[in-house]
C-alpha cells in the first residue's frame, strides 16, 4: 500500500509542492494525502529508466471504437478482431478515441467518465484490447457534457457538481480569450441560485470545468486510477491548454495549466511507472513545445505542424517550408519524444501552420483541398474576425492531385506522405482511415451537417474484409504496402524515436533527412521525391561511407556504385541504409 502517513515520502513532498502552487489558500499537505489515498492500492515506485519508454518498434493506431461495425458483435469486439486478424504486430499501441457515454462531438462531450458507452461494448472489451496492445485513452479534462450529472447538480446547487463548473460575469474582460470555435463563449444557464453564465470554450454542450476547485482535480485523478485498472497505459490530455481560466488573459497555457500536467506526471511516474502522458495542444509550434516542460510534463507531444506542411509540400512540389520547419525543430529532450501524424479524427489543423506558411500559401492549400471535396472550419479571433482553423478532409482524398488538379499519382503521393511521417524523429501514429485509404465520407457530412464527419467513416466489417482481400482494391494496395513499410521500420535502429536526425540540403523537390542509431552502428538516408516528375539523385550528394554496403530498404535495390545517378520516380521514397534489416 502507498505511503500516506509519512512526512518523508518523496511523492508526498512533490505533490504538496504542486498543490501549494495551484491552491495557495488550501492545506497542500492534506490535499497531497487525499491524492495518495486515491492510489492507495498501488505501490509507490521509482519511475522507469528513460531508455525503456519506447523504441523503433513502437507505432500507434488512432481509431474510434466504432470505426468498424458489424451486426453480430459489439464495435469494440469488432475492432479487436480487425486488430488481431489484419493489423497484428504492425502496431504496438491503440488509441481508442473517447469511449464513454456522450452527448455530442463524437465522444468529446462526456456524460459519464466512469462508464463505457454501451453502444460500443463494456470495460471487459476495453481491457481485452489492452491485453494485446498498449492502450491510449482520452482524459477529456477541460469540459463535460451539459447532460452530465455534474452539470445537472450544478443547476440544482448540490454536490458533486455545484462548484465544478466554470462561470464568468458578463462584464469580465474576455476579449483576449483564445477560442477554437466561432460560437459565443458564455452560455446563459438558469440555476437554483438564479441566472449564471457558464464558460464554454468549445460548444454550449461542452461546459468548462473549474479547476480552481481542488475537488475537480481529485475527480480526474480518480478517473485516471479507474482507467489504469482497466489497462490504459497512455493518457491523452484533451484540450489541456485551455484548462485554467483567468479573465484578462488569453486563458491559454497559463502557469497553473502546466502545473496540473506536472502533477499528473508525478502521480503516474510514482504509482504507474511506464505510463505515458501526451498533451493535445493544437496550437502554433512554439507554444506546443512548452508542454515538454523541464522533462517533467508530457512525455510526448503531437507534431501538429507536420500535417499541414507535409500536405502543402506534396500538393505544390515545394519543400522549402517543410525543410525550414524541420531545421528549426529541436530534438526532443531526453525522456521525451514527438508523436508524428498526418491525419486525425478532427482534420488537418491550420493553427500550427501559422507563422510557417504565408497567408497566400495557406489560401492555396485551402482552395486545393476544397476542389478535392474537402471542407473548411474556422475559428473566431480576438478582433471578431475569423481564420481557418482546420481542413476537414480524408487525407487520401486530400492527395488526389496537386494544385494543378487531379492526376494518376494519388496512391503514390499518399504512400509518400506516410513514409515521410514514419521515418521522422518520434513515434508514428496512423489514423485508421489513413491506414485503410478511406475516401471522403460526403454522406456522413450530409447526414450530420458536421464537417468533421467527412473523415469519420464507419466501415462495415464484412465489406472491409472483402476490400482487404481483393488484390485489385486500393484499400488492399495501400494497407498492404503501409504495413510492409511499418514492418521494415520496426527492424531499423535509426528509426528509434530519439535517434539522431539531420535535414539534408538536396535540391527541390527532394525532401531528405539522415537518421543514425543511438549506438551509431547504422544510418539511413530518407530521400523523398515530393513531385509528380522523375528526379535525378546523385548518390555522391549523400556522402555515403565508401567502406559500407548500401541498399534501399524499401525496394531492396543495392547500390554498388556510390557515384551512380538514380532516377527517382514521382513520390518515390528511399531508405538508403548501410545495414540489412534484422531477420
* Residue 380: per-residue pLDDT: 73
Is 244 exposed, middle or buried (CB count within 10 Å of its CB: 0-12, 13-18, 19+)? buried
Q: Return the biggest CA–CA distance within the chain.
A: 81
* Residue 7: per-residue pLDDT: 60
Residues in the chain predicted with pLDDT less than 70, given as ranges, are 1-8, 43-45, 47-48, 50, 382, 580-583
Q: Does 483 reside within a domain?
A: no
Nearest to 294 by CA among 321, 327, 261: 261
Residues making up the annotated binding site for substrate are 105, 143, 236-238, 345-346, 452
Tell me the backbone φ, ψ of residue 267, rounded to 5 degrees: -60, -50
Residues making up the annotated binding site are 105, 143, 236-238, 345-346, 452
Q: Does 372 reside within a domain?
A: no
Could you write out the three-class secondary structure of 61-103? Answer: EEECCCCEEECCECHHHHHHHHHHHHHHHHCCEEEECCCCCEC
Q: Does 21 reside within a domain?
A: yes
CA 435 to each of CA 283, 310, 472, 529: distance values in angstroms, whole numbers, following the listed order: 25, 17, 17, 21
Which SS3 state, helix, strand or coil, does residue 28 take?
Answer: helix
Q: Which residues contact 348 (CB under 8 A, 6 or more apart)?
A: 307, 308, 311, 369, 390, 391, 393, 395, 398
Residue that the C-alpha cell 531477420 belongs to = 583
Distance CA 425, CA 338 (A): 7
Q: Does 275 reside within a domain?
A: yes
Cβ neighbours, 10 Å, residue 561? 9
Tell me the backbone φ, ψ of residue 132, rounded to 5 degrees: -105, -25
Q: Does 523 reside within a domain?
A: yes
pLDDT tens track for 409-444: 999 999 999 999 999 999 999 999 999 999 999 999
Q: 282, 299, 316: which is the final residue of a domain?
A: 299
Cβ neighbours, 10 Å, residue 449? 7
pTM for the structure as a whole: 0.95
Q: 242, 264, 299: which is the final residue of a domain?
A: 299
Q: Does 476 reside within a domain?
A: no
Q: Does 169 reside within a domain?
A: yes
CA dihedral 445, 447, 450, 455 (to 10 degrees): -40
Which SS3 state, helix, strand or coil, does residue 49 take?
Answer: coil
CATH number at residue 552: 2.60.40.1180
Nearest to 345 by CA among 450, 259, 418, 225: 450
Range of the domain at 19: 1-48+98-299
How far from each other are the two terminal CA atoms of the chain, in whole angstroms?
44
Tell me the backbone φ, ψ of residue 316, rounded to 5 degrees: -110, -20
Residue 202 contacts residue 234 (beta carbons within 8 Å): no
Element (H or E) spanning 259, and its range? helix 255-271
User: What single string gives the DSSP state of each residue in 412-479?
Assistant: HHHHHHHHHHHHSSSEEEEEHHHHTT----HHHHHHH--GGGGG---EEHHHHHHHHH-TT-HHHHHH
Q: 299, 320, 342: which is the final residue of a domain?
A: 299
Residues labelled as active-site residues: 238
Q: Does 582 reside within a domain?
A: no
Q: How many residues would you count in the chain?
A: 583
* Residue 2: per-residue pLDDT: 43
Q: For helices 255-271 and 214-229, give the axis angle rounded to 10 degrees.
A: 40
Could you write out the three-class secondary structure of 531-564? Answer: CCCCEEEEHHHHCCCCCCCEEECCCCCEECCCCC
* Residue 580: per-residue pLDDT: 61
The string over 348-371, giving b where at least 16 C-beta atoms fall within 10 Å of a residue's C-beta and e elsewhere, is bbbbbbbebbeeebbebbeebbee
Q: For the chain, what is the domain count? A: 2
Amino acid at each position: 500500500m502507498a505511503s500516506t502517513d509519512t512526512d518523508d515520502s518523496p511523492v508526498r513532498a512533490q505533490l504538496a509542492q504542486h498543490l501549494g502552487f495551484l491552491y495557495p489558500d488550501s492545506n497542500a499537505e492534506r490535499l497531497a494525502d487525499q491524492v495518495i489515498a486515491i492510489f492507495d492500492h498501488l505501490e509507490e515506485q521509482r519511475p522507469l529508466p528513460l531508455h525503456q519508454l519506447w523504441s523503433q518498434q513502437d507505432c500507434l493506431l488512432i481509431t474510434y471504437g466504432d470505426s468498424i461495425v458489424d451486426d453480430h458483435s459489439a464495435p469494440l469486439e469488432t475492432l479487436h478482431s480487425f486488430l488481431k486478424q489484419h493489423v497484428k504486430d504492425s502496431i504496438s499501441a491503440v488509441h481508442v478515441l473517447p469511449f464513454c457515454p456522450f452527448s455530442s462531438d463524437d465522444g468529446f462531450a462526456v456524460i459519464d467518465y466512469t462508464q463505457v458507452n454501451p453502444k460500443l461494448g463494456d470495460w471487459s472489451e476495453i481491457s481485452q484490447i489492452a491485453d494485446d496492445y498498449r492502450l491510449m485513452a482520452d482524459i477529456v479534462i477541460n469540459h463535460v457534457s451539459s447532460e452530465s450529472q455534474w452539470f445537472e447538480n450544478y443547476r440544482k446547487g448540490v454536490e458533486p457538481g455545484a462548484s465544478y463548473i466554470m462561470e464568468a460575469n458578463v462584464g469580465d474582460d474576455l476579449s483576449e480569450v483564445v477560442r477554437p470555435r466561432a460560437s459565443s463563449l458564455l452560455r446563459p444557464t438558469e440555476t437554483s441560485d438564479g441566472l449564471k453564465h457558464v464558460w464554454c470554450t468549445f460548444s454550449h454542450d461542452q461546459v468548462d470545468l473549474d479547476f480552481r476547485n481542488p475537488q475537480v482535480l481529485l475527480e480526474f485523478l480518480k478517473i485516471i486510477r479507474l482507467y489504469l485498472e482497466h489497462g490504459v497505459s497512455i493518457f491523452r490530455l484533451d484540450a489541456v491548454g485551455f484548462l485554467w481560466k483567468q479573465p484578462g488573459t488569453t486563458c491559454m497555457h497559463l502557469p497553473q495549466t502546466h502545473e496540473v500536467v506536472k502533477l499528473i506526471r508525478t502521480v503516474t511516474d510514482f504509482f504507474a511507472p511506464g505510463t505515458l502522458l501526451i498533451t493535445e495542444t493544437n496550437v502554433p509550434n512554439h507554444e506546443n513545445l512548452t508542454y515538454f516542460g523541464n522533462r517533467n510534463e508530457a512525455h510526448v507531444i503531437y507534431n501538429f505542424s507536420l500535417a499541414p506542411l507535409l500536405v502543402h509540400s506534396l500538393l505544390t512540389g515545394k519543400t522549402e517550408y517543410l525543410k525550414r520547419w524541420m531545421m528549426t525543430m529541436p530534438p526532443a529532450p531526453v525522456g521525451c519524444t514527438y508523436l508524428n501524424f498526418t491525419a486525425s479524427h478532427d482534420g488537418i489543423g491550420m493553427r500550427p501552420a501559422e507563422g510557417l506558411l504565408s497567408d497566400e500559401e495557406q489560401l492555396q492549400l485551402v482552395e486545393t483541398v476544397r476542389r478535392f471535396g474537402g471542407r473548411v472550419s474556422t475559428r473566431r479571433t480576438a478582433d471578431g474576425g475569423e481564420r481557418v482553423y482546420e481542413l476537414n478532409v480524408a487525407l487520401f482524398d486530400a492527395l488526389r492531385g496537386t494544385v494543378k488538379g487531379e492526376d494518376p499519382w494519388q496512391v503514390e503521393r499518399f504512400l509518400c506522405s506516410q513514409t515521410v511521417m514514419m521515418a521522422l524523429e518520434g513515434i508514428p501514429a496512423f489514423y485508421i482511415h489513413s491506414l485503410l485509404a478511406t475516401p471522403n465520407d460526403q454522406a456522413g457530412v450530409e447526414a450530420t451537417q458536421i464537417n468533421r464527419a467527412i473523415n469519420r467513416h464507419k466501415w462495415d466489417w464484412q465489406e472491409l474484409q472483402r476490400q482487404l482481400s481483393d488484390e485489385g482494391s486500393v484499400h488492399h494496395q495501400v494497407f498492404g504496402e503501409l504495413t510492409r513499410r511499418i514492418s521494415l521500420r520496426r527492424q531499423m535502429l535509426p528509426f528509434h524515436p530519439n535517434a539522431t536526425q539531420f535535414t539534408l540540403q538536396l535540391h527541390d523537390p527532394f525532401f531528405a533527412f539522415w537518421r543514425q542509431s543511438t549506438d551509431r552502428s547504422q544510418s539511413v538516408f530518407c530521400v523523398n521525391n515530393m513531385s509528380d516528375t522523375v528526379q535525378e539523385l546523385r548518390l555522391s550528394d549523400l556522402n555515403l561511407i565508401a567502406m559500407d554496403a548500401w541498399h534501399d530498404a524499401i525496394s531492396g535495390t543495392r547500390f554498388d556504385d556510390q557515384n551512380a545517378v538514380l532516377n527517382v520516380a514521382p513520390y518515390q521514397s528511399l531508405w538508403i541504409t548501410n545495414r540489412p534489416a534484422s531477420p
